[in-house]
Structures are given as structure tokens and as C-alpha cells.
Amino acid sequence: MRDWESDPAGQESGRGGQKELEEQVLGAGLCTGCGACVSLCPYQTIYHDRTVVLHSCDLAQGRCYAACPRTPTDLGSLRSGLYNETDCTPELGALKGFFITRTTDEGARRRAQHGGTVTALMALALREGLIDTAILAEGGEGLLPRSITVRDPEAAGMPGGSRFVVSPTVAEFNRICLGNAAKIGVVATPCQALALAKMRKWGHDAASYPHFREVENGIEKLHLVVGLFCGWALSWQKLAALLKKKTDLARVTGMDIPPSRYHTLEVYTTGETVRVSLDEVDPCVREACRTCGDMTAEFSDLSVGSARLPEGWETARSWNQVIVRTERGMDLLELARDRGVLEFRAAPEGNLEKLKAASLGKKRAAASRNGKR
């Protein structure tokens, strides 16, 4: 099966500059708002959840184009350079193990989106010195999340919940990697994880991509990527406009999407739960997400999503399913088991096959849309 975002001409990414980025990504509505083109370059910035060009740049080759997750990419080559080929699957990317977990900290579990596995892993990595800096997203004002840098393990447990709106996580990494941090961990969506993977490759091949030479050491500081399952992200402006009709935005404390049979976005407020049909939410989906085939953050060390369990949604919502992709990811998960910070339960029969089918469905839908562009 073809990689869902391979360049149809067989050309590798990294051979363009701001002009091509504007034409092929920003102007085409494919920008994910990941922030990969920001902070390493003074000519782009993030405004709310959009990438804005501040000044024109005449470089024929630019870091902005090379790192962007939506410029043409040979994903097979990228994957083979980062993962063990025997672990790679066509549906989910590298797969060393599949687990159902949740944090043993009940308070953290209540604050977290689901089982709190991501929170537990990032706090553990900081506590054990596997990383000295964590880049996370937290809820900001008016539903607009922001990227934050955390060095205290206790602080890593404070952000929680999703607004389903992008934060410029890679822009924050670009800023932090040029500072004093030595070992950085990032919680990333699929597009953000892909951008970081591309930066790793270009940084290691500075002879071919000299525009990355000055940040090569910064990219070497990336020690951990914890990916998040993601079906799509929402336009902040459109989501805010929709929810203003339903509730007071200042009262919103979190959101969630139950399994597909519910066809609902649950919006949690200080006084009630507001349920919005996904038919109303669909127009808020970023167009870039409709052409993305990565549901499980394949370019990460391990990926975490909400669980599906036979007991039903009310039980499943307090657990996570975890895909381990690298030895580093496996070592961290086993350390979490040994330290007693994660609780494990057996994965129900058929869960992995269902996840593979869902992921493959997203790849096919994205491939179909990309073919029509």
C-alpha cells in the first residue's frame, strides 16, 4: 500500500522555501498549525491557531518547507530510518507492543482526558531524568490551547483534557531546543510527530540540507515523543462560534468524543454537559485534517489513545490504549510498570484488529481525498 502522503513524483521533501510553502500548504488549506515553520525562522508566526507569514523570504531551500508535515515526504524512507523494519505494519506503522493502561493516581485520572497515561509517563520521564524538559499543551483562554514547557514532574501532571484545537507544539520545541535544555520530551499529535521526525532526518543529513546545520545539535536533544491518537482537529474560530450558541465559553472545562455510535461531541462546563451532534461539528474540522491518514501518531516512541472495552464507554473512558514503537518507548512503559505509576489490564480480544481497521480506513479516506486534489 502506498504511503498516504508520498510525493507522486517520487521527490523527497526539503527542496523548497517559503514561496513553495505558501503555494503548496498555506494557500492550499493544508496547514495543520503544528508550528514547525515557526521559531527557527523569523518570517512566520502563529496567530491563534493559524500560521501567518510576516515577511517574504527568497531562500530557495528553507527549514520551513523541509520540516512541514504537509510537504511531499517519502514516508517509507523516513520510517525505515527511525524504526526497526520488522516492527512496521501497513496499518499502524511500527508496533512493538499493544497495551491497555491507566495511571494509578486517581486524582490525575480525574484531571486527565482519559486514563492519564500520558501524564504519568511524562512525569515519570522527568522524575527519572530520562528527559529534563517536557513540552505539553494546556487549555488557554477561550478554548484556545497553548504550548508550555515544564521541568517539574509535579507540574507535568497539571495540564489535562483536550479542546480538539491545535497548539503550536513544534514551534515551542524549536524555541526550547536552542536553549539550555539537554533532553526534551514532547507530547505530539500525528502531524507534529511527523514534523519532528522530518527534522531529525534533515538534521542528521546537514550536508544535503545545510539550512538545518545550525540546529543539528538542538534536534539531537529530542529524547522522547509521546504521540496522541487523533482523528481530526477543529478550527478554533469555527468551534468558538458554534459553542457560543450552546454555552458560555468561559465555563467550558473540557471536551470529549465518545465512540462513533454516539455521534456526539461532549462539552463539559462548570454546571452541565452539553452534547453537540457531530453533524454540527463537522464544518469546524480543519481541511488539512481531511487529507491526513495518520490516526495513531506513527512517528513517535509510543502512542496513546482512548480505550475501547467490552464494559462500555463509562468504563473505557478511564483507560488508554497504547502502541509502543521503539525500544525507548518500551523501556519507559516497563519502567512505569515497575514503579507502579501505571495500571495494566489485558487487551480485549480483537481490539488491536479493530484499531488497525480504523487506522486503515483513515488512510484510505485521506488517499482518496489527496487523489482528488
Task: Give me the pLDDT at residue 285, please.
Answer: 96
pLDDT tier at 210, thresholds 50, 70, 90? low
CB atoms within 10 A of CB 142: 13
| Higher per-residue pLDDT: 62 or 319 | 319
pLDDT tens profile 286-295 = 999 999 999 9
pLDDT tens profile 135-147 = 998 877 778 888 9
| Mean predicted confidence (pLDDT) in 67-75 | 92
Only one residue has cell 542528521, namely 204
| 307: pLDDT strictly greater than 70 | yes
pLDDT tier at 49, thresholds 50, 70, 90? confident
Report the largest interatomic distance among the alpha carbons of the chain, rounded to a whole angstrom.
58
How many angstroms separate the Cα of 330 from the Cα of each of 7, 113, 137, 300? 32, 22, 23, 12
| Mean predicted confidence (pLDDT) in 241-252 | 93
**Cα–Cα distance between 241 and 254 in angstroms, integer?**
16
Using CB atoms within 10 Å of the CB of residue 49, give its burial: 0 to 12 exposed, 13 to 18 middle, 19+ buried. Answer: buried
Task: Give me the pLDDT at residue 105, please.
Answer: 93
Task: Give me the pLDDT at residue 3, please.
Answer: 46
Q: If we measure between CA atoms, which residue out of 351, 368, 231, 352 comes closest to residue 295?
A: 231
| Mean predicted confidence (pLDDT) in 338-348 | 97
Give the chain's mean pLDDT.
88
Task: Give me the pLDDT at residue 58, please.
Answer: 83
Angle between helices 327-338 and 117-127 (to 10 degrees): 90
| 92: pLDDT strictly greater than 70 | yes
Collect all residues with Cβ–Cβ distance below 8 Å to 195 and sequence separation of at least 6.
Answer: 34, 36, 67, 68, 69, 170
47-56, 130-139, 159-168: the lowest-pLDDT one: 159-168
pLDDT tier at 8, thresholds 50, 70, 90? very low
| Three-state secondary structure of 89-129 | ECCCEECCEEEEEEECCHHHHHHCCCCCHHHHHHHHHHHCC
Task: Give me the pLDDT at residue 159, please.
Answer: 57
| Mean predicted confidence (pLDDT) in 236-243 | 94
| Higher per-residue pLDDT: 55 or 355 | 355
Antiparallel, parallel or unpaired: β 302-306 and 320-324: antiparallel
pLDDT tens profile 259-279 = 888 899 999 998 899 999 999
pTM of the complete model: 0.92
**What proportion of the chain, given as a percentage, has pLDDT over 70?**
91
Q: If we measure between CA atoms, which residue out of 233, 217, 211, 146 comes closest to residue 184?
A: 217
| Mean predicted confidence (pLDDT) in 116-131 | 96
| 7: pLDDT strictly greater than 50 | no
Task: Give me the pLDDT at residue 338, please.
Answer: 98
Q: Assess contact for 251 and 270: CB atoms under 8 A.
A: yes
Task: Give me the pLDDT at residue 163, please.
Answer: 77
**Cα–Cα distance between 76 and 346 in angstroms, integer?**
32
Task: Give me the pLDDT at residue 9, please.
Answer: 33
| Three-state secondary structure of 4-27 | CCCCCCCCCCCCCCHHHHHHHHHC
**Cα–Cα distance between 9 and 369 in angstroms, integer?**
17
